[in-house]
């Protein structure tokens, strides 16, 4: 599948105001500074589609982008950032929890993980929570270009063995680098297949 058109639609802090749930949605989420905006720009090949920021915790709203006039790419707020208010930080944040649990047209939630780090408690908790709620998820490891191949493999193996302590079967995993455009075709193929299955 190729992306021929990508346009910003809306930005809301209230799930009830999101666009009508009449098209499939693929949402992206992760800890702040995981490289989400860079990944979304790489995926859509639009340099400024999602605003990148050096200040973590920048995305505080649900941002919808319409892709090929057929489906939505959704940029969700980051979880686990210390400077957001206590109210937003309770659980994984009210906006995040309401969107993930109530959006009936959510086809897949892509959880972004910094491949340079050993398994982080907040990421593991979010993966666990999403899985326990029956949300369709896939894990996207970012910044793969920052590691040597053997280091990357070691970190991935560590993640997989940690998850297999509580998961019978691992969710789909995609390794990406926004700089080198690694993982772009895998993500688009995954989305294309998910769309085709629902037709």
Statement: 6-193 belongs to CATH 3.40.50.300: yes
Provide φ and ψ at 186, rounded to 5°: -65, -45
Tokens of 131: 């899985």
First to last CA, the chain: 15
Q: List the chain domain ranges.
A: 6-193
What is the model's pLDDT at position 197?
85
What is the model's pLDDT at position 91?
56
What is the model's pLDDT at position 54?
44
Burial class (CB in 10 A: 0-12, 13-18, 19+), 50: buried
- Residue-wise pLDDT tens for the chain (199 aa)? 899 999 999 999 889 999 999 999 999 999 888 999 899 999 999 887 776 544 444 557 899 999 999 999 999 988 865 444 444 444 567 888 899 999 999 999 999 999 999 999 999 999 999 999 999 999 999 999 999 999 999 999 999 999 999 999 999 999 999 999 999 999 999 999 999 987 6
Q: Which residues of 117-140 are buried (b: 16+ CB within 10 A; e: fewer)?
A: eeeeeebbebbebbbeeebebbbb
What is the model's pLDDT at position 83?
42
What is the model's pLDDT at position 46?
87
DSSP state of 155: H
Q: What is the pTM of this model?
A: 0.90
């Amino acid at each position: 599948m190729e992306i021929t058109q990508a346009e910003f639609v809306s930005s809301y802090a209230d799930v009830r105001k999101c666009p009508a749930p009449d098209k499939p949605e693929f949402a992206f989420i992760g800890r702040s500074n995981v490289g989400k905006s860079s990944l979304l720009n790489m995926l859509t090949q639009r340099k400024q589609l999602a605003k990148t920021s050096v200040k973590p915790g920048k995305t505080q709203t649900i941002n919808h982008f319409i892709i090929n006039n057929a489906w939505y790419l959704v940029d969700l707020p980051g979880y686990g950032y210390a400077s957001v208010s206590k109210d937003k930080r309770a659980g994984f944040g009210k906006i995040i929890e309401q969107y993930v649990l109530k959006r009936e047209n959510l086809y897949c939630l892509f959880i972004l993980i910094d491949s340079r780090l050993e398994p982080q408690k907040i990421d593991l908790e979010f993966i666990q929570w999403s899985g326990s709620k029956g949300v369709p998820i896939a894990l996207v490891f970012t910044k793969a270009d920052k590691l040597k191949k053997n280091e990357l493999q070691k970190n991935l193996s560590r993640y997989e063995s940690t998850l297999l302590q509580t998961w019978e079967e691992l969710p789909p995993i995609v390794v990406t680098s926004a700089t080198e455009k690694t993982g772009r075709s895998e993500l688009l193929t995954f989305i294309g297949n998910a769309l085709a299955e629902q037709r």
